[in-house]
Amino acid sequence: MDADPVTATTAEQLTPIVRRALDRPDADIDRWELAPADHCVDNMTTERLDRVRGTLDDGTPWSLFAKTLQPASAAPHWRLIPDFAHAELLRELDWRDEPRAYGCGLAADVPDGLRMPRLWHLDEDDDRIVLWLEDVDDRAVWDLPTYRRAAEGLGRLAGRWPQRRVDAELGLRRRRLAEYVDGKVVHAVLPWLADDATWSDPMVAAATASDPDLRSDLARLADDLPDLLGRLDESDHALGHGDATPANILDDGTDLVLVDWSYGSSMAVGTDLAQLVAGAYDGRAEGDVGLMTPVHDIVVDAYCAGLAAEGAPVAPGDVVLAYLVTLAVRSGLTAVDLSHVADLPEERRAALLHQRVALARLALDRLAAVRL
């Protein structure tokens, strides 16, 4: 690869971007510095995240957020992917999906109270794309009112952009949960769950000691997947963010700002709720398990209220099914896998594992209840 485009950026290249961001056509940069952003990078198509900050010659401060994208084949984890899965993974993780989301016109027509971060500039070559974005000052406090507000906003987004409109005006693709299942789940997750060694690991055994049925219930979920995925394929589809975790929903004091549009696409209505609920209990998050059930109890009603506010047909049963199937698959089947946070201290990993097991149990029990 060529030299990294962010670290190689010059003041001459930055100046027009800063001028646009500040709406100061005559502004000149006095000084600037680059530092890695305080975000966990776990997407194979994201090479790095940086903040570029500085001042103008009159002392005015400025800040930009630079997101560098790469093909999934350039990621370190690519070597762990079996050859037969390469083509499907490159299609599923298309590194140009996020630039498409910013360039399709969506930002001009999102519901009140939501917005996308402003894209000030895009640099593109054969092996990298750099999105020069607004650096949003996040003021979000993730209490129950914020979860309700986020869920309603996501419902309004889906209600405003049903699949027919996404197809006609945005050109973003349809993303099926079955693609994830047929790839990673079938070839990696299920064999790993079937291995006795997975469950005999001391940390896993301790986290699941109070839930001895978890392994068999996850196996039952796997058996039921063809039917569940078929039902999702037949349900209404609309625009979804695709990774609507609290980490990707910022509050600028006026609007909720949806960042990281790598998975923005048409999907089963209600899918976004899964990541909204799971996001506080995944990765390096320190979620409050006590909020888990109350959050679950409010997000569906809030999401349906958002659909109704946009005049969209509301089918609560379909919303619940899409939400819970996605939650059970993405957070339940992978609940006891902490390989992606191997760098955390053991005590923190153990606490995180207990959170994830509790979330898996909530998803499995609620899904079983709605299918009775």
Q: Give the pLDDT of the chain (372 residues) as one tens digit per residue.
A: 456 778 778 889 999 999 999 999 999 999 999 999 987 777 899 999 999 999 999 999 999 999 999 999 999 889 888 888 899 889 889 999 999 999 999 999 999 999 999 999 999 999 999 999 999 999 999 999 999 999 999 999 999 999 999 999 999 999 999 999 998 899 889 999 999 999 999 999 999 999 999 999 999 999 999 999 999 999 999 999 999 999 999 999 999 999 999 999 999 999 999 999 998 776 545 567 778 888 999 999 999 999 999 999 888 999 999 999 999 999 999 999 988 777 889 998 999 899 999 999 999 999 999 875
Cβ neighbours of residue 155 closer than 8 Å, sequence gap 6 or more: 302, 303, 304, 305, 306, 307, 309, 310
End-to-end Cα, the chain, rounded Å: 54
If DSSP codes are grouped into helix, strand and coil, which group holds residue 282? coil
Residue whose C-alpha is closest to residue 20's, from 99, 121, 106: 121
Residue 291: closest CA among 153, 158, 154, 141: 141
Reported pTM: 0.93
Burial 134-161 (b: 16+ CB within 10 A, else e): bbbeeebebeeebbbbbbbbbbbbbbbb
Residues 6+ apart with CB under 8 A from 249: 140, 150, 256, 257, 258, 259, 276
Q: What's the pLDDT at 243? A: 95
User: What is the predicted pLDDT for the residue at 280?
Assistant: 76
> For position 292, what pLDDT does the model report?
83
What does the angle CA 275 – CA 121 – CA 117 come to, to the nearest 5 degrees? 35
User: For residue 190, how far is the Cα from the chain centroid?
Assistant: 22
Which pLDDT score is estimated for 230? 96
Which of 160, 151, 63 lies closest to 107, judged by CA?
160
pLDDT for residue 293: 87
- In this predicted structure, what is the pLDDT of residue 42? 75
Q: Look at residue 324 and give its three-state secondary structure.
A: helix
- What pLDDT shows up at residue 339? 82
Residue 65's pLDDT is 97
Backbone angles phi, psi at 47, to 5 degrees: -80, -45
pLDDT at res. 105: 95
**What pLDDT was estimated at residue 284?**
46
